[in-house]
Amino acid sequence: MSNKTDLTVLILRFILGAILGALFTVLMLLTVIWLGDPKVINLVLILGAAVTIIVAISATIWGDKCLVGVMKIFRFFKYFP
C-alpha cells in the first residue's frame, strides 16, 4: 500500500472530517439559537448530522483537497476580535 491509501491515513482523514463537520454543525446550531427560533433546532440537528457524515466521507475519499476546502469556510473568524 502507498502512504495515501494506508488504513491509518484513511481513518485519520475520516476523524478530522467528522470533527470539522461537527464544528460546522455547532456553528449552525449556535446561530439558530442566537436568532431565537427554537422550531428550527431539530431541522438543524438533522442537517448537521448529514453535513458531518458528508464531510467525513468526502475527506476520506478526496483527502487533503476536501479538508483544505472545508477549513477555508472558517477563515472569516480572523476578522472577529
DSSP letter string over 8-59?
HHHHHHHHHHHHHHHHHHHHHHHHHHHHT-GGGHHHHHHHHHHHHHHHHHHH
pLDDT at 81: 62
The pTM of this model reads: 0.67
pLDDT at 3: 56
- Please determine, for residue 1, whether its predicted confidence score (pLDDT) is greater than 70: no
Q: What is the pLDDT of residues 27-68, one digit of tens each?
A: 888 888 887 777 788 888 888 888 888 888 887 777 777 667
Which residues are CB-neighbours of 74 under 8 A, at least 6 positions away? 23
Quickly state the pLDDT bin for 78 (edges 50, 70, 90): confident
